[in-house]
Amino acid sequence: MKLFAVKEQESRAALTPVSAKKFIDKGIEVAIESGLGEQSSFPDTAYTQVGATIQSREEGIKIADIVIRVLAPSVDEVSLMKKGAWHVSLLNPWANADVLAALAQQGINAVSLEMMPRTTLAQKMDVISSQANLAGYMSVVKATDYFSGILPMMMTPAGTLSPAKVFVLGIGVAGLQAIATAKRLGARVTAFDVREEALEQAESLGAKALRIDLGETGSTDQGYAKQLTPEQIAKQQEAQAAVCIDSDIVITTAKVFGRKPPILIKKEVVAQMKAGSVIADLAAEGGGNVEGVVADEVVTTENGVTLLGYHKFENFVSRDASSMFASNIEHFFNHFWDKETSTWLANTQIQLQSEEQDDILKGCLITTGGAIVHEQFKA
């Protein structure tokens, strides 16, 4: 069995020397595109040392039984693949209908990692979680860097600096890690989420939870948040605005699965914030939770507020982000690995009736046998 890891246009890699070795130890032939780990502190030599070979992208894709990478492939790349081969990566399936079609057409078994079910068992394969975690950490580091003051309290001979106030909006995995990191640095953290249990989770990290009575809300059975009604949003924004204006650093993380993220902070609110304060928007990619944020850019408003719209905060810690991503993929692979026979059972799994299929595979398999099979994306 042959595995090929494609070099990405961004700083993360889907395979690290450590995970490569684990595949190789199972008897898999591993090949990588040259420069795969360059930006995440893993030189090619580190891979070859553990027994991986270097191949051109084209060649690698052609002969591989499993292609792994971080982002979705191009349609051209899909067309190079063997029929019946596996493709494991993030696919952004809501935006990449053409790629899904190509994958189906080519007869590829394509796994979309963002569709990984949010169950306890699947957690070790869940890249959305593992990357959001790092993004949450890094959002605070970046905001701290841009902030014109310090986070911790200091009672010094030259006067007392009060702790910075940090406001975290959206307490998913990223929000939690943002809370933890800001707390560590000594900030006073307030957090908000529409889900009641998320507020408790914020408190479990020592943050103050902002409780706004919004009436009925909820999350999908996958653990992702539902979209709110307009009235709810208005009510929520009013309460948030007050906290925002009082804060030095604001972190927003509210993505809604497969849709445009809600606007949580309006221009007017940003305009009332103090000079030198910072907003990091982790949803900037999809349009942002903050009005005025520009994806992948750092903008400073007239009143001196810095808006961080980085696409993927996790890319700033590329080494660890890659390690986690690669480890998630490896766990996914292991899930179907039969130790006794040293065979990969995923191929047999997909032959099964839907009811008998593994829940995890059912959740994230998009195309197989020449068709799009995932409920959500079936045409």
Ligand X SMILES: NC(=O)c1ccc[n+]([C@@H]2O[C@H](COP(=O)([O-])OP(=O)(O)OC[C@H]3O[C@@H](n4cnc5c(N)ncnc54)[C@H](O)[C@@H]3O)[C@@H](O)[C@H]2O)c1
Catalytic residues: 118, 123, 126, 129, 224
Residue 204 C-beta-side C-alpha neighbours within 13 Å: 10
Which region among 61-69, 111-119, 140-148, 257-265 touches its own copies (by CB under 8 A)?
140-148
148 binds, among ligand X, ligand NAP, its own copies, none (CB under 5 to 8 A by kind): its own copies
Angle CA 334–340–342, to nearest 5: 55
- Residues near ligand X, by CB under 6 A: 118-120, 123, 126, 128-129, 132, 169-175, 192-195, 198, 223-225, 228, 253-257, 262, 264
φ/ψ bin of 92: left (φ > 0), alpha (ψ from -120 to 50), beta (otherwise): left
Q: How far is CA 375 from CA 51, 53, 76, 184, in A?
A: 39, 38, 25, 42
347 binds, among ligand NAP, its own copies, ligand X, none (CB under 5 to 8 A by kind): none
Residue in this structure with the two tokens 């406001």, named with its chain if needed: 167
Choosing from 27, 159, 215, 230, the residue that interacts with its own copies (CB under 8 A) is 159
Encoding tokens for residue 265? 């902070």
Which of 105/123 has CB closer to ligand NAP? 123
Nearest residue to 368 via CA among 64, 123, 88: 88
137 binds, among ligand NAP, ligand X, its own copies, none (CB under 5 to 8 A by kind): its own copies
Nearest residue to 258 via CA among 96, 88, 86, 73: 96
Query: Under the criterion CB under 8 A, does residue 352 sit at the interface with another protein?
Result: no
- Residues near ligand NAP, by CB under 6 A: 120, 123
The distance of closest approach from Cβ of residue 130 to ligand NAP in the complex, given in angstroms and rounded to an integer, is 9
> What's the rounded Cα separation, in Å, for the pair 116 and 249?
32
Which of 60/117 has CB closer to ligand X? 117
CA dihedral 92, 96, 97, 100 (to 10 degrees): -70
186 binds, among ligand X, its own copies, ligand NAP, none (CB under 5 to 8 A by kind): its own copies
Query: Under the criterion CB under 8 A, does residue 123 sit at the interface with another protein?
Result: yes
Question: What is the distance between the terminal CA atoms of the chain, rounded to a whole angstrom?
Answer: 32
- Residues of the shown chain interacting with its own copies in the complex, contacts defined by CB under 8 A: 40-43, 123-124, 126, 129-130, 133-134, 137-138, 141-142, 144-145, 147-150, 152, 154, 156-159, 161, 181, 184-186, 274-276, 304, 316-320, 323-325, 327-328, 331
